[in-house]
Amino acid sequence: MTRPGKLFVISGPSGAGKSTVIARLLKRLNTVYFSISATTREPRRGERDKIDYLFMSEAEFQNMVKNDQLLEYAEYVGHYYGTPAQPVAEKRKAGYDVILDIESAGARQVMEKIPEAIGIFLFPGSFKVLEERLRLRSTDSEEKIKQRLIKARSECRSIKMYDYIIINDRVETAAEEAAAIITAEKCRTSERIHLLKEEC
Ligand code: 5GP
C-alpha cells in the first residue's frame, strides 16, 4: 500500500520569494505537488489561471467556504485566499508530498487540523530587501505595499509556530535548503521503519 505523502506549509512575508523558491524546489523533487490556491485577487502580469492560482469572484469563493471545500482560508490585504481541500487529500493519498504556500493565519488553521504538517518560514533576508522587492514587483499601489509591509512584520510574530526557518538571501541556496528539509523529513525513522520489517 502507498504511504500517504507529507504536508509542508511554507509561509513568509509576501515578497519573500516563496513562489520562486517553490518553483526551483519543484524542479528538484518530482514527488512533490504544489497546491493551487483559490483567490479573489486580480492576476498579476504573467500569472495564469489554474496554474498559479484559481482566480475567482468573491461569490465563487464564498460558495467554496459554504460548501466546506477549503482546508483553510484567510483574508490578506483586502482579498481572500484559500486551499482547496480535495486535491490536497487526493495527492497525499496517492503518495505525493504536498506544499502549501500560505500566510500565517491559514498556516495556523492547517497545523491545528493536521498536526503532523511541517511548517517552514521563509524570510527575505531583511525588511529592507522585502520593501525593495515589493516595489520592484510594482504591481501594487503604494497603499497596498504599505499594508503588505505591516502584514509582514505581524507574520514574523508567528514564527515560532514553524519547524524550520529559511533565510532567502540567495534563491538557489533557499531552494536547496527547502529540498533538504523535505528529504530529511522523509528519512525519519517513523517514515522508514516499515521498510525494514524483515531486517530488524
Ligand atoms: P500574493 O497576493 O502575494 O500572491 O499572496 C499574498 C499572501 O497570500 C502570501 O503570503 C501567500 O502565501 C498567501 N496565500 C496564497 N495562497 C493562500 C491560501 O490558499 N491560503 C492562505 N491562507 N494564504 C495564501
- Looking at residue 49, its pLDDT comes to 98
The angle, 0 to 180 degrees and rounded to 10, between the axes of the packed helices 18-28 and 171-186 is 60
The number of folded domains in the chain is 1
Q: Which atom of ligand 1 is nearest the CA belonging to 70?
A: 19
Residue 132 belongs to some domain of the structure: yes
Alpha-carbon distance of 84 to 69, in angstroms, equals: 6
Residue 194 lies in a domain: no
Residue by residue, pLDDT tens for the chain (200 residues) are: 788 999 999 999 888 889 999 999 999 998 999 999 999 999 998 999 999 999 999 999 999 999 999 999 999 999 999 999 999 999 999 999 999 999 999 999 999 999 999 999 999 888 898 888 888 876 778 888 888 899 889 988 999 999 999 999 999 999 999 999 999 999 999 999 989 988 88
Protein residue with least CA distance to atom 19, ligand 1: 82
How far is ligand 1, taken at its centre, from the CA of residue 158, in Å?
Answer: 15
Does 199 reside within a domain? no
In this structure, the residue with its CA closest to atom 18 of ligand 1 is: 82
Helices (H), the chain: 18-28, 58-66, 85-93, 104-113, 127-137, 142-156, 171-186, 189-192
- For strand 97-101 and strand 70-76, is the pairing parallel, antiparallel, or unpaired? unpaired
d(CA 100, CA 14): 14
Residue 92 lies in a domain: yes
pLDDT confidence of residue 133: 87
Nearest CA to ligand 1 atom 6: 14
Q: What pLDDT score does 164 carry?
A: 98
pTM for the model stands at 0.93
- Note down the domain range covering 38: 7-189
Position 45 in a domain: yes
The answer to whether residue 2 is domain-embedded is no
Shortest-distance atom of ligand 1 to CA 107: 22
Within-domain flag for 138:
yes
Ligand 1 proximity of 34 Cβ (cutoff 6 Å): no
Question: What pLDDT sits at residue 94?
Answer: 96
CB of 121 sitting under 6 A from ligand 1: no
Check residue 3 and give its pLDDT: 87
Pocket of ligand 1, candidates 103, 104, 135: which has the most ligand atoms within 8 Å of its Cβ, to mutate?
A: 103
**What's the CATH number where 101 sits?**
3.40.50.300
38-39 and 79-84 strand pairing = antiparallel
Tell the residue number behind the cell numbers 515589493, with chain if given: 134
- The answer to the question of residue 197 being in a domain is no
41 Cβ inside 6 Å of ligand 1: yes
